[in-house]
Each structure stands twice: as structure tokens, then as C-alpha cells.
Amino acid sequence: MSTPNPDAPAGPPRWLLVMLAAGISLLVAAVLVVLLEVAGVGSINEVVFVVVLVVAALAGGWVTRVLAPRLPAIRRPPRG
């Protein structure tokens, strides 16, 4: 296993980015479901459900990739 470069800036931990993407995806899915309800859709089939999930996941991942460089660096204490 290689040691991390001490000169490289420490970004947010990977778990934080995964949780951020999951939360944004959940928010996008909820907004899409509300928009479908406002549009008068009473029920959806499996295909529309999968489309909503895929669109929400892609949007959450894209927003997280845009936001990740702007998040503050987290300094970790050295392992001893």
C-alpha cells in the first residue's frame, strides 16, 4: 500500500461524498415524484419508477462531483 503524498491537499473523506450524493439523489427523486403528482399522474409503472431512480442517481452524482472541489479540506491527525 502506498503512503499518501503529504503535499496533496486533503479533501473531504470518500464516505462524506457518498452520503452527500445519496442525500441529493433522494431529494431529486422526491422532487420528481412530487412533480409527477402535480402533473396528475395517479400511479406509475415499473419503467417510470426505474427512470426516476436513474435520473435521481445521475443528478445526485453530477451535483456531488461539481460540489466536491468546493468543499473545505478536512485535516486528519497523523497515524501513529
Amino acid found at 44: I
What digits encode the pLDDT tens for the residues 25-62?
Answer: 999 999 999 999 999 888 889 999 999 999 999 999 99
Domain limits, the chain: 22-70
Using one digit for the tens of pLDDT, what is the confidence trace for 8-24? 556 788 889 999 999 99
DSSP string, 13-43: -HHHHHHHHHHHHHHHHHHHHHHHHHTT---
Contact 27, 61 (CB under 8 A): no
Q: Which residue has the cell 419508477?
A: 49
